[in-house]
Structure 1
């Protein structure tokens, strides 16, 4: 079958397509393998960027968020859902293919390269909405049986699927304080706000570590902090991440560069939201313009691989 234009575009952008899904090395993996800094998941939770596999089991999404920089507005049609075992093997092989390219470079950190050949974490967050993949529970179970941790990022529109899942850490995106703003910001394919509310309620069951993730754009969704606090307070997540919208990729056709908040604006919102929720400001990464709020009882680190100077960032 001949590749579609959308598939060719993804390949040019560094995506390795594996059946219905894809894997792609991120900027932070590259920096980490060269002995540099690591992403916010490292500073917040101890996840090593060079041992992290960034992937998705599906390229489909039921949102077209204004702030999304992924190429979700060019759907890839007709890709049958890949069986979990086949998908996992293809994803890991694709990751090893990426890693092998660093072996001959003088700038590669040899110790980190050796560690990268044995990945320990899978971020199910590359693009699309993972809960649209029909074998997500089975896939996560297979990953964790390999001794890998899993972060699942969902737009919270399929609570019936989320109820069956046990990732290491579950992220729910909350990018609007109410239904009207949700329709404006997220452009859902149908009326999905009631599903989002159901998913938020699921977090109270404490089946796994939980995070509410907010991507914030100036002039779009940075108001209504009391409404955000009410929704998040009812959900009782372990953590809340406030992340600035970044003017990248396809989002540049929808939002102006001026919509990208400064880190100081994110920190001001984090302080306000933390006070309303009774959460403490746990950490920040200014380069990524992201702040972390935490419940008092929530242990933060999953893998204690921080370097001594990492704590100085906070």
Structure 2
């Protein structure tokens, strides 16, 4: 698998689990920053996740939506020859994570990581299935999550909610569903799905009351920052433990589809979340201005 898209992603730091699949991992900015003794991402503040011990991965880069705000390239899609096996993902995860972080090894003069942080980073306890693509399009996702859970890992699954039947079979530590519109019309406009999945997304949100869960809404100024009562109704019906209202970031390939003016300031995101809170039982309990995100919990 050496397409132009694949080579571009490898150059960006993606590590592929096999030559014929698009299963991949890539340490995020916060992982590397925390490894060097810097600050951690908002998930540490909200949920106690240690960023330097987190693996960011996906079992597939396939996706059935083309969201305007997505940072990934949609112009150069990677075509899978076959799905990656669960065994391969499990066996190669730690070696690939170590390879990705090799430049931060504490023994290197250029590294600011300590021996303790380096050792912890090579023993990750958190697997975020959230890198890119839609993980529920991977047919063996329930098995993968069960295997990771059995190995003592904390698993976060981030999904667009278009496959509720697959989500119902998955049992991660925390399930994230993206809800980026208050209604069908806005959903079709901003998420540009392969087909209309609006009803499926609503079905997925109703699964959340049965598990530890969160809904994430990415606010794109001037596009989906409307109808706070509509969002509130979806949140209320879901019964999710947490709601994350997060500002769109003007990064990656999204810059070819949106303008910098579409990226809201943190104060704008917070004010929008406050408007939503007027129509439901979810209230703001925390916030992280750097990541332009607020956390809401049912009161």
Aligned match of 2:197:
192
Q: Pick from 263, 266, 270: which aligns with 2:269? A: 266
1:282 aligns with 2:285: yes
Aligned match of 1:244:
247
Q: Pick from 219, 222, 227: which aligns with 1:219? A: 222
Structure 1 residue 275, shift from structure 2 partner: 3.0
Q: Pick from 104, 122, 127: which aligns with 1:122? A: 127
Aligned match of 2:45:
43
Aligned match of 2:30:
28
Aligned match of 2:169:
164
Offset from partner CA, 1:112-170 (integer Å, 9 cap, x none): 11111110000000000000000000000111111110000000000000011110000
Alignment of 1:56-135 (within 5 A): 56-103=58-105, 104=108, 105-135=110-140
Offset from partner CA, 1:57-104 (integer Å, 9 cap, x none): 001000000000022442111331111121122222210112332111
Whose RCO is larger (CA < 8 A, sep 6+)? 1
Whole-Å Cα distance in 1 between the matches of residues 221 and 261 of structure 2?
Answer: 7
Q: Contact between 1:22 and 1:58, CA under 8 Å: does it hold in 2? A: yes
Whole-Å Cα distance in 1 between the matches of residues 111 and 64 of structure 2?
Answer: 43
Aligned match of 2:238:
235
Whole-Å Cα distance in 1 between the matches of residues 191 and 4 of structure 2?
Answer: 25
Q: Contact between 1:102 and 1:108, CA under 8 Å: does it hold in 2? A: yes
Aligned match of 2:145:
140
Normalising by structure 2, report the TM-score.
Answer: 0.95
Whole-Å Cα distance in 2 between the matches of residues 8 and 89 of structure 1?
Answer: 23
Aligned match of 1:303:
none
Moved runs in structure 1, 4+ residues, more than 3 A? none
Aligned match of 2:5:
6
Structure 2: where are the runs of 5+ without partners? Answer: none
Whole-Å Cα distance in 2 between the matches of residues 174 and 141 of structure 1?
Answer: 25
Q: Contact between 2:15 and 2:100, CA under 8 Å: does it hold in 1? A: no
Whole-Å Cα distance in 2 between the matches of residues 162 and 141 of structure 1?
Answer: 13
Alignment: residue pair count:
293
Q: Contact between 2:155 and 2:174, CA under 8 Å: does it hold in 1? A: yes
Structure 1 residue 38, shift from structure 2 partner: 0.4
Q: Compute the RMSD of aligned alpha carbons.
A: 1.2
Whole-Å Cα distance in 2 between the matches of residues 199 and 279 of structure 1?
Answer: 19
Secondary structure of the equivalent of 1:189? coil
Structure 1: where are the runs of 5+ without partners? Answer: 297-314
